[in-house]
Amino acid sequence: MEDLPVILLVEDEELIRNIVEETLGDGGFKVIVAKSGDEAVRLLDSSVPKYRALVTDIKLSPGTLSGWDVARHARAIDPELAVVYMTGDSAAEWASQGVPNSVLLTKPFAPAQLLTAVAQLLNVGGQNPS
């Protein structure tokens, strides 16, 4: 279990959080869960474990950081971190708010779409497309 890639999942809605956590776990990843943007930043700042990917909802609980903010903070720590955004209504903001080389999934999405997005980003690992 220790050698599995670790993913930080940020989702405030329990039902979605549980489905995504189960999907990623079944896909061979170790999942650390944050229920808010603020909690996610604390986990990222702790630097243990070393995260390979961030999967985050964009609109989190009011009064907390957004998924956009969490991803920017994560990339400041690790510029190569794979980032997958999940959203029901913020897709139009991705070009201006999203970090480069990220993927956006619009809810509802199939579990296989999430696993494919994470796997593709991890396989690219550090390559900067022109």
Of 47, 35, 42, 31, which is closest to residue 10 (Cα–Cα)? 35
- Where residue 63 falls (left for φ over 0; alpha for ψ -120 to 50; beta otherwise) is left
- pLDDT (tens, 9 = 90+) of the chain, 130 residues, equals 458 999 999 999 999 999 999 999 999 999 999 999 999 999 999 977 899 999 999 999 888 899 999 999 999 999 999 999 999 999 999 999 999 999 999 999 999 999 999 999 999 654 333 3
Q: Three-state secondary structure along 21-83?
A: HHHHHHCCCEEEEECCHHHHHHHHHHCCCCCCEEEEECCCCCCCCCHHHHHHHHHHHCCCCEE
pTM, two decimals, is 0.92
pLDDT value at residue 63 = 85
pLDDT value, residue 124: 67
